[in-house]
Each structure stands twice: as C-alpha cells, then as structure tokens.
Amino acid sequence: MPVMAMREIRVIPDPVLRTVCDEITTIDDGVRGLVADLLETVDAEGRAGLAANQIGVNLRAFSWNIDDEVGYVLNPRIVELSDELQDGDEGCLSVPGLWFPTARAWYARVEGIDLDGESVVVEGTGLMARCLQHECDHLDGKLYLDRLERSVRSKAMRELRARL
C-alpha cells in the first residue's frame, strides 16, 4: 500500500471544486495512493466525508468517516434515494465555518467499485445518507450551497463573500 498523506483541503473559490470529476478507468498506483490519502485525510476530528476534488484530484472517488467507520468508494453513483427528506444544517470542508439548513433524502444508496475493481454498495440513513449525497455532488462539481433555498443561499453567499 502506498504511503498515506494528510492532504490540504481545497476551498471555495478553487475551480477544481466546480469541475465534474473523471471516471476512474484504470486502478493503478496513482489511484491506490489517492485512496490512501483520502482515507488519511478524512480520518480527523469533525470530518464526515471527502471527495477527491477537495484535495485537488479530478477523479470520481470519495472517502467517509461516519460513526467510527472509515471507508471509500470509486466511481460512485447514487442509485436510490428515499422520498422521505431530512432537514438539518450542512457544512463543508471546502466552505469552512459556514453551516446552513440543507434538505437531503433520509436514505441513500450508492454503487461503485473498490480497489480490486469489485462492485460495492454503500448505503445509509441520516448522516450517512447526507454524506453520500454531499460527496457525489462534489464529484459532479456541485457544492451544498447550490442546494440551498433561494433566501438562504443569498445569505450564505453574502457571508461567503465577506470571508473571501
């Protein structure tokens, strides 16, 4: 396994955060190193998930750290969302210090592959479902701010501009 490294988190307005990530077509040492870095970087206090583009890599991969379970998935795609919604404050490592109410599905199911190219399914409710949706959004070049209700989004953008 490659040496793991804690990677710097890219923050808004870095353009990599608005870039749709590329599918992983070959699992090589670079991808194995990326996964090692994602796992190392997400395994810190207060971190629930981390997409590859948040550490400057334009590939479809993310890691999570929910309820003492740390894992990853390559080429994730959301295959099921519940009609039942959850509402709660959401934040993002790439938008530090800002938390806003963001509606998400209560349950989410993601399919992808692991480092052996084997199919994996990651699913969950509550925080795990929120994480899966949030990280898949990142890989599509979206931030949680894009999902905010209009009035809340206006407030968020004002606060964000004041910080930049």
| Catalytic positions | 135
Q: Is 92 annotated as a binding residue?
A: yes
Q: Is 138 annotated as a binding residue?
A: yes
Cα–Cα distance, 30 to 45 (Å, whole number) = 26
Cβ partners under 8 Å of residue 15, min gap 6: none
CA distances from 59 to 30, 97, 138 (A): 11, 26, 11
Strands 49-51 and 89-92: unpaired
Report the Cα 24 to chain-centroid distance in Å.
Answer: 16
Q: Is 21 annotated as a binding residue?
A: no
For residue 156, report the phi and psi dihedrals to the nearest 5 degrees: -60, -45
**Annotated binding-site positions:** 92, 134, 138
**Annotated binding-site positions for Fe cation:** 92, 134, 138
